[in-house]
Chain A
Protein backbone atom coordinates (compact mmCIF):
# COMPACT_ATOMS: atom_id res chain seq x y z
CA UNK A 1 0.00 0.00 0.00
CA UNK A 2 1.35 3.40 -0.96
CA UNK A 3 0.41 6.00 1.66
CA UNK A 4 2.86 8.59 0.32
CA UNK A 5 1.48 12.04 -0.55
CA UNK A 6 -0.51 12.04 -3.75
CA UNK A 7 1.44 12.75 -6.92
CA UNK A 8 -0.69 13.09 -10.03
CA UNK A 9 2.17 13.22 -12.52
CA UNK A 10 5.35 11.22 -12.69
CA UNK A 11 7.64 13.64 -14.52
CA UNK A 12 10.10 10.92 -15.54
CA UNK A 13 7.35 8.79 -17.08
CA UNK A 14 5.87 11.82 -18.82
CA UNK A 15 9.21 12.86 -20.29
CA UNK A 16 10.14 9.33 -21.31
CA UNK A 17 6.79 8.89 -23.01
CA UNK A 18 7.39 12.05 -25.06
CA UNK A 19 11.14 11.96 -25.54
CA UNK A 20 12.02 8.30 -26.13
CA UNK A 21 10.25 8.17 -29.52
CA UNK A 22 11.98 11.45 -30.50
CA UNK A 23 15.38 10.00 -29.56
CA UNK A 24 14.50 6.83 -31.47
CA UNK A 25 13.61 8.87 -34.58
CA UNK A 26 16.87 10.83 -34.28
CA UNK A 27 19.05 7.73 -33.83
CA UNK A 28 17.39 5.86 -36.69
CA UNK A 29 17.62 9.02 -38.85
CA UNK A 30 21.32 9.21 -38.12
CA UNK A 31 21.79 5.52 -39.02
CA UNK A 32 19.77 6.02 -42.20
CA UNK A 33 21.78 9.07 -43.19
CA UNK A 34 25.09 7.39 -42.36
CA UNK A 35 24.57 3.98 -43.94
CA UNK A 36 21.84 4.38 -46.56
CA UNK A 37 22.85 7.55 -48.38
CA UNK A 38 21.65 6.13 -51.71
CA UNK A 39 18.15 5.44 -50.44
CA UNK A 40 16.43 2.07 -50.84
CA UNK A 41 14.61 -0.15 -48.36
CA UNK A 42 17.14 0.48 -45.60
CA UNK A 43 16.60 4.23 -45.79
CA UNK A 44 12.82 3.79 -45.71
CA UNK A 45 13.06 1.55 -42.66
CA UNK A 46 15.40 3.93 -40.86
CA UNK A 47 13.64 7.19 -41.73
CA UNK A 48 9.95 6.42 -42.18
CA UNK A 49 9.20 3.51 -39.85
CA UNK A 50 10.46 5.21 -36.64
CA UNK A 51 8.19 8.21 -37.30
CA UNK A 52 5.17 5.97 -37.84
CA UNK A 53 6.07 3.92 -34.75
CA UNK A 54 6.52 7.10 -32.67
CA UNK A 55 3.11 8.46 -33.65
CA UNK A 56 1.52 5.07 -32.97
CA UNK A 57 3.24 5.00 -29.57
CA UNK A 58 2.06 8.50 -28.64
CA UNK A 59 -1.51 7.60 -29.58
CA UNK A 60 -1.69 4.06 -28.22
CA UNK A 61 1.20 3.48 -25.84
CA UNK A 62 0.21 5.45 -22.72
CA UNK A 63 -3.42 4.35 -23.09
CA UNK A 64 -2.39 0.69 -23.31
CA UNK A 65 -0.23 1.06 -20.18
CA UNK A 66 -3.08 2.89 -18.43
CA UNK A 67 -5.63 0.18 -19.27
CA UNK A 68 -3.29 -2.55 -18.10
CA UNK A 69 -2.53 -0.72 -14.84
CA UNK A 70 -6.22 -0.14 -14.14
CA UNK A 71 -6.83 -3.89 -14.31
CA UNK A 72 -3.82 -4.52 -12.09
CA UNK A 73 -5.09 -1.88 -9.65
CA UNK A 74 -8.31 -3.82 -9.09
CA UNK A 75 -6.41 -7.08 -8.53
CA UNK A 76 -4.02 -5.38 -6.09
CA UNK A 77 -6.87 -3.79 -4.16
CA UNK A 78 -8.70 -7.10 -3.88
CA UNK A 79 -5.47 -8.74 -2.66
CA UNK A 80 -5.16 -6.04 0.03
CA UNK A 81 -8.69 -6.68 1.28
CA UNK A 82 -9.86 -3.30 -0.02
CA UNK A 83 -13.64 -3.42 -0.32
CA UNK A 84 -14.55 -1.73 -3.60
CA UNK A 85 -17.83 -0.02 -2.73
CA UNK A 86 -17.61 2.45 -5.57
CA UNK A 87 -15.29 2.65 -8.55
CA UNK A 88 -15.22 5.64 -10.83
CA UNK A 89 -13.21 5.58 -14.04
CA UNK A 90 -12.44 9.16 -15.00
CA UNK A 91 -10.48 9.92 -18.16
CA UNK A 92 -7.18 10.60 -16.42
CA UNK A 93 -7.71 9.00 -13.05
CA UNK A 94 -9.50 6.12 -11.40
CA UNK A 95 -11.03 6.58 -7.96
CA UNK A 96 -12.07 3.62 -5.83
CA UNK A 97 -13.69 4.10 -2.44
CA UNK A 98 -13.85 1.62 0.45
CA UNK A 99 -16.56 3.09 2.65
CA UNK A 100 -16.32 0.37 5.33
CA UNK A 101 -12.64 0.97 6.04
CA UNK A 102 -12.70 4.68 5.15
CA UNK A 103 -10.12 4.43 2.40
CA UNK A 104 -9.71 5.81 -1.06
CA UNK A 105 -7.56 4.36 -3.84
CA UNK A 106 -6.25 6.56 -6.63
CA UNK A 107 -4.46 5.84 -9.88
CA UNK A 108 -3.43 8.56 -12.31
CA UNK A 109 -2.91 8.40 -16.08
CA UNK A 110 0.44 10.18 -15.93
CA UNK A 111 1.56 8.24 -12.87
CA UNK A 112 0.27 4.74 -13.58
CA UNK A 113 2.99 2.87 -11.70
CA UNK A 114 2.02 4.26 -8.27
CA UNK A 115 -1.20 3.10 -6.69
CA UNK A 116 -2.24 5.38 -3.82
CA UNK A 117 -4.35 3.79 -1.10
CA UNK A 118 -5.03 6.48 1.47
CA UNK A 119 -7.22 7.05 4.51
CA UNK A 120 -10.20 9.09 3.34
CA UNK A 121 -9.62 11.34 6.33
CA UNK A 122 -6.85 12.97 4.32
CA UNK A 123 -9.52 14.45 2.06
CA UNK A 124 -10.01 18.00 3.26
CA UNK A 125 -12.80 18.96 0.89
CA UNK A 126 -14.99 17.28 -1.74
CA UNK A 127 -17.46 18.99 -4.01
CA UNK A 128 -19.31 18.69 -7.32
CA UNK A 129 -19.07 21.21 -10.14
CA UNK A 130 -21.72 21.39 -12.83
CA UNK A 131 -19.76 23.89 -14.94
CA UNK A 132 -22.91 25.90 -15.64
CA UNK A 133 -22.34 29.02 -17.72
CA UNK A 134 -24.20 31.39 -19.99
CA UNK A 135 -27.52 33.08 -19.50
CA UNK A 136 -31.09 32.47 -20.62
CA UNK A 137 -31.50 29.90 -23.36
CA UNK A 138 -27.71 29.74 -23.77
CA UNK A 139 -27.25 28.46 -20.22
CA UNK A 140 -25.48 25.13 -20.26
CA UNK A 141 -22.29 23.25 -19.59
CA UNK A 142 -19.63 21.25 -21.34
CA UNK A 143 -18.02 19.78 -18.24
CA UNK A 144 -19.38 18.20 -15.09
CA UNK A 145 -17.32 16.50 -12.43
CA UNK A 146 -16.43 16.08 -8.82
CA UNK A 147 -13.32 17.42 -7.14
CA UNK A 148 -11.56 16.76 -3.91
CA UNK A 149 -8.54 18.03 -2.06
CA UNK A 150 -6.31 15.31 -0.70
CA UNK A 151 -2.90 16.12 0.78
CA UNK A 152 -3.60 19.62 -0.61
CA UNK A 153 -3.58 18.20 -4.13
CA UNK A 154 -6.71 18.98 -6.11
CA UNK A 155 -8.04 15.97 -7.98
CA UNK A 156 -10.66 16.61 -10.61
CA UNK A 157 -12.66 13.71 -12.00
CA UNK A 158 -14.94 14.47 -14.93
CA UNK A 159 -18.26 12.71 -15.13
CA UNK A 160 -19.07 14.43 -18.44
CA UNK A 161 -17.07 16.37 -21.02
CA UNK A 162 -17.98 17.64 -24.45
CA UNK A 163 -16.76 20.11 -27.04
CA UNK A 164 -20.28 21.53 -27.18
CA UNK A 165 -22.43 23.23 -24.59
CA UNK A 166 -25.33 21.11 -23.35
CA UNK A 167 -28.48 22.37 -21.64
CA UNK A 168 -28.53 21.93 -17.88
CA UNK A 169 -31.71 19.83 -18.04
CA UNK A 170 -30.38 17.48 -20.71
CA UNK A 171 -30.57 13.84 -19.50
CA UNK A 172 -26.81 13.40 -20.06
CA UNK A 173 -26.04 16.41 -17.87
CA UNK A 174 -28.50 15.38 -15.19
CA UNK A 175 -26.90 11.94 -15.08
CA UNK A 176 -23.42 13.46 -14.86
CA UNK A 177 -24.47 15.79 -12.01
CA UNK A 178 -26.05 12.86 -10.21
CA UNK A 179 -22.84 10.81 -10.56
CA UNK A 180 -20.78 13.74 -9.25
CA UNK A 181 -23.13 14.32 -6.29
CA UNK A 182 -23.12 10.61 -5.51
CA UNK A 183 -19.31 10.42 -5.54
CA UNK A 184 -19.04 13.47 -3.26
CA UNK A 185 -21.43 11.86 -0.81
CA UNK A 186 -19.51 8.56 -0.92
CA UNK A 187 -16.22 10.36 -0.32
CA UNK A 188 -17.75 12.23 2.63
CA UNK A 189 -19.10 8.95 4.06
CA UNK A 190 -15.69 7.30 3.69
CA UNK A 191 -14.09 10.32 5.34
CA UNK A 192 -16.39 9.95 8.34
CA UNK A 193 -15.70 6.20 8.47
CA UNK A 194 -11.95 6.85 8.60
CA UNK A 195 -12.48 8.76 11.83
CA UNK A 196 -11.81 12.32 10.69
Chain B
Protein backbone atom coordinates (compact mmCIF):
# COMPACT_ATOMS: atom_id res chain seq x y z
CA UNK B 1 0.00 0.00 0.00
CA UNK B 2 1.40 3.35 -1.00
CA UNK B 3 2.31 6.18 1.30
CA UNK B 4 -0.46 8.33 -0.22
CA UNK B 5 -3.12 5.72 0.62
CA UNK B 6 -1.81 5.48 4.18
CA UNK B 7 -1.99 9.26 4.55
CA UNK B 8 -5.54 9.29 3.19
CA UNK B 9 -6.50 6.50 5.58
CA UNK B 10 -5.25 8.64 8.47
CA UNK B 11 -6.72 11.94 7.30
CA UNK B 12 -9.96 10.95 5.57
CA UNK B 13 -12.83 9.59 7.60
CA UNK B 14 -14.18 7.60 4.68
CA UNK B 15 -11.01 5.60 4.10
CA UNK B 16 -10.79 2.10 5.54
CA UNK B 17 -7.74 1.95 7.78
CA UNK B 18 -7.39 -1.79 7.33
CA UNK B 19 -7.82 -2.06 3.57
CA UNK B 20 -6.52 1.47 2.80
CA UNK B 21 -9.28 2.13 0.32
CA UNK B 22 -12.24 4.41 0.08
CA UNK B 23 -15.39 3.18 1.76
CA UNK B 24 -18.82 3.34 0.16
CA UNK B 25 -21.52 5.58 1.46
CA UNK B 26 -24.22 3.24 2.76
CA UNK B 27 -26.63 5.65 4.43
CA UNK B 28 -27.03 9.42 4.77
CA UNK B 29 -29.44 11.09 7.17
CA UNK B 30 -30.10 14.57 8.49
CA UNK B 31 -31.16 15.23 12.07
CA UNK B 32 -31.92 18.16 14.31
CA UNK B 33 -30.13 18.52 17.64
CA UNK B 34 -32.72 20.49 19.64
CA UNK B 35 -30.69 20.52 22.86
CA UNK B 36 -27.70 22.17 21.20
CA UNK B 37 -28.24 25.85 20.53
CA UNK B 38 -26.08 28.65 19.21
CA UNK B 39 -23.48 29.79 21.72
CA UNK B 40 -24.01 26.71 23.87
CA UNK B 41 -22.60 23.91 21.75
CA UNK B 42 -20.92 21.12 23.70
CA UNK B 43 -19.22 18.24 21.93
CA UNK B 44 -20.28 14.79 23.10
CA UNK B 45 -18.28 11.66 22.33
CA UNK B 46 -20.82 9.19 23.64
CA UNK B 47 -22.89 7.66 20.81
CA UNK B 48 -25.71 7.10 23.30
CA UNK B 49 -26.12 10.87 23.60
CA UNK B 50 -26.80 11.19 19.88
CA UNK B 51 -29.20 8.27 19.83
CA UNK B 52 -31.28 10.04 22.48
CA UNK B 53 -31.00 13.60 21.20
CA UNK B 54 -31.15 13.37 17.40
CA UNK B 55 -34.52 14.12 15.85
CA UNK B 56 -35.26 13.07 12.31
CA UNK B 57 -36.09 15.91 9.93
CA UNK B 58 -36.80 16.16 6.24
CA UNK B 59 -34.67 19.16 5.34
CA UNK B 60 -32.53 21.94 6.80
CA UNK B 61 -35.51 24.25 6.46
CA UNK B 62 -37.22 22.40 9.33
CA UNK B 63 -34.59 23.61 11.78
CA UNK B 64 -35.41 26.88 13.54
CA UNK B 65 -32.70 29.58 13.76
CA UNK B 66 -30.17 28.95 16.49
CA UNK B 67 -30.69 25.20 16.64
CA UNK B 68 -27.97 22.77 15.63
CA UNK B 69 -28.37 20.13 12.95
CA UNK B 70 -26.39 16.96 12.51
CA UNK B 71 -25.54 15.20 9.30
CA UNK B 72 -24.93 11.48 9.63
CA UNK B 73 -23.22 9.30 7.05
CA UNK B 74 -22.59 5.61 7.37
CA UNK B 75 -19.67 4.23 5.37
CA UNK B 76 -19.02 0.60 4.56
CA UNK B 77 -15.81 -0.89 3.26
CA UNK B 78 -16.67 -3.02 0.20
CA UNK B 79 -13.64 -5.24 0.87
CA UNK B 80 -13.71 -6.06 4.58
CA UNK B 81 -17.25 -4.93 5.43
CA UNK B 82 -16.06 -2.56 8.16
CA UNK B 83 -18.63 0.10 9.01
CA UNK B 84 -18.21 3.54 10.50
CA UNK B 85 -20.63 6.34 11.20
CA UNK B 86 -19.56 9.94 10.76
CA UNK B 87 -21.61 12.55 12.58
CA UNK B 88 -21.19 16.15 11.51
CA UNK B 89 -22.90 18.59 13.90
CA UNK B 90 -23.36 21.99 12.34
CA UNK B 91 -25.23 25.22 12.84
CA UNK B 92 -27.36 26.16 9.83
CA UNK B 93 -27.14 29.93 9.29
CA UNK B 94 -29.30 31.16 6.43
CA UNK B 95 -27.63 29.64 3.32
CA UNK B 96 -24.40 28.78 5.16
CA UNK B 97 -23.29 26.25 7.76
CA UNK B 98 -20.94 26.48 10.72
CA UNK B 99 -19.40 23.05 11.24
CA UNK B 100 -18.12 21.96 14.63
CA UNK B 101 -15.94 19.05 13.54
CA UNK B 102 -16.92 15.55 12.50
CA UNK B 103 -17.13 12.69 14.98
CA UNK B 104 -16.33 9.18 13.87
CA UNK B 105 -18.00 6.23 15.59
CA UNK B 106 -17.47 2.54 15.03
CA UNK B 107 -20.31 1.74 17.38
CA UNK B 108 -22.75 -0.80 15.98
CA UNK B 109 -25.63 0.77 17.91
CA UNK B 110 -25.36 3.93 15.80
CA UNK B 111 -25.51 1.77 12.66
CA UNK B 112 -28.87 0.40 13.71
CA UNK B 113 -30.04 3.85 14.73
CA UNK B 114 -29.35 5.23 11.24
CA UNK B 115 -31.33 2.46 9.59
CA UNK B 116 -34.35 2.87 11.84
Which chain A residues have a beta carbon within 8 Å of chain B's beta carbons? 169, 171, 174-175, 177-179, 181-182, 184-185
Across the interface, which residues of A come within 8 angstroms of B91, CB to CB? 174-175, 178
Asked if B98 is at the interface (CB within 8 A of a chain A CB), the reply is yes
CA distance A182 to B97 in the complex (A): 15
A174-B96, A182-B66 known; 12 new pairs, CB 8 Å cut-off, are A175-B93, A175-B98, A178-B38, A178-B66, A178-B91, A178-B93, A179-B38, A181-B65, A182-B37, A182-B38, A185-B64, A185-B66
Asked if B39 is at the interface (CB within 8 A of a chain A CB), the reply is yes
Asked if B44 is at the interface (CB within 8 A of a chain A CB), the reply is no
Q: Which residue of B lies closest to A170 (CB)?
A: B98
CA distance A178 to B92 in the complex (A): 8
Which chain B residues have a beta carbon within 8 Å of chain A's beta carbons? 37-39, 64-67, 91, 93-94, 96-98
Query: Which residue of the partner chain, among B64, B67, B98, contacts A171 with CB atoms under 8 Å?
Result: B98
Across the interface, which residues of A come within 8 angstroms of B39, CB to CB? 175, 179
**Interface residues of A, dominant DSSP:** helix
Query: Which residue of the partner chain, among B64, B96, B98, contacts A182 with CB atoms under 8 Å?
Result: B64
Max chain B C-beta neighbours (<10 A), residue from A174, A175, A178, A182:
A178
CA distance A178 to B97 in the complex (A): 10
Q: List 17 A-B contacts (CB under 8 A).
A: A171-B98, A174-B93, A174-B96, A174-B97, A175-B38, A175-B91, A175-B98, A177-B93, A178-B65, A178-B66, A178-B98, A179-B38, A179-B66, A181-B65, A184-B65, A185-B65, A185-B66
Across the interface, which residues of B come within 8 angstroms of A178, CB to CB? 38, 65-66, 91, 93, 98
Across the interface, which residues of B come within 8 angstroms of A184, CB to CB? 65
Kindly provide the distance from the CB of B58 to the nearest chain A CB, expressed in whole angstroms.
19
Across the interface, which residues of B come within 8 angstroms of A174, CB to CB? 91, 93, 96-98
CA distance A169 to B39 in the complex (A): 16
Kindly provide the distance from the CB of A25 to the nearest chain B CB, expressed in whole angstroms.
42
Across the interface, which residues of B come within 8 angstroms of A182, CB to CB? 37-38, 64-67
Taking a contact as CB atoms under 8 Å apart, the answer to whether A181 and B98 are in contact is no
